Amino acid sequence: MVFIFTLRIVIGSTFIISGFTKMFLMTTFITTVYKFNVLPRVLIIPFASLLPPIELVLGIALALGYLTRFSSFMIMVILLLFVTAVIPQLLGGPPIGDCGCFGGLMDSAVNMNLLIRGCILFTAAYLVFFQKRHMFALDNKLNQIDF
């Protein structure tokens, strides 16, 4: 249980920081999404505008253990989309430079290490998703309340 709690905090913190920085460096993130060349142009701005607050909310929910299964599942979906966008770049797509994971706050090159990091985070979210009960989770407290 301590291991899963640690995973929840690490994943949640990663998504909180990621979403927060992208929200304040939006133009950088929009440019990065455009460079990946996986979305039609008409969807780039809506996608780049919606993803950061979604990441922030999911990160907070996961860290607090609120709607833990839902938030870990949605994080897995986001990570799957991310890994799917990275693979073509690794197979010879045009060079992108920074992946935009943290909105340009820190430089994360699109390389094999980035893919591995995405897969590790996906696996961690998978483990959290299948844990039945969570330590220090709001879900536990909310399930005890009689409405």
Q: Is residue 78 part of a domain?
A: yes
The answer to whether residues 141 and 27 touch, using CB atoms and an 8 Å cutoff, is no
More confident residue, 44 or 140: 44
The answer to whether residues 74 and 11 touch, using CB atoms and an 8 Å cutoff, is no
Phi, psi of 83 (to 5 degrees): -60, -40
Range of the domain at 108: 2-139
Residue with tokens 């094999």: 112
Q: Is residue 144 part of a domain?
A: no
Phi, psi of 98 (to 5 degrees): -75, 140
- Whole-prediction pTM: 0.90
Give 78's DSSP letter. H
The pLDDT-based confidence of 104 (bands split at 50, 70, 90) is low
The pLDDT-based confidence of 111 (bands split at 50, 70, 90) is confident
Q: Is residue 146 part of a domain?
A: no
Cβ partners under 8 Å of residue 97, min gap 6: 35, 109, 110
Q: Is residue 86 part of a domain?
A: yes
Return the percentage of the chain with pLDDT > 90, whole number.
63
What is the count of structural domains for the chain? 1
Residue with tokens 């909105």: 103
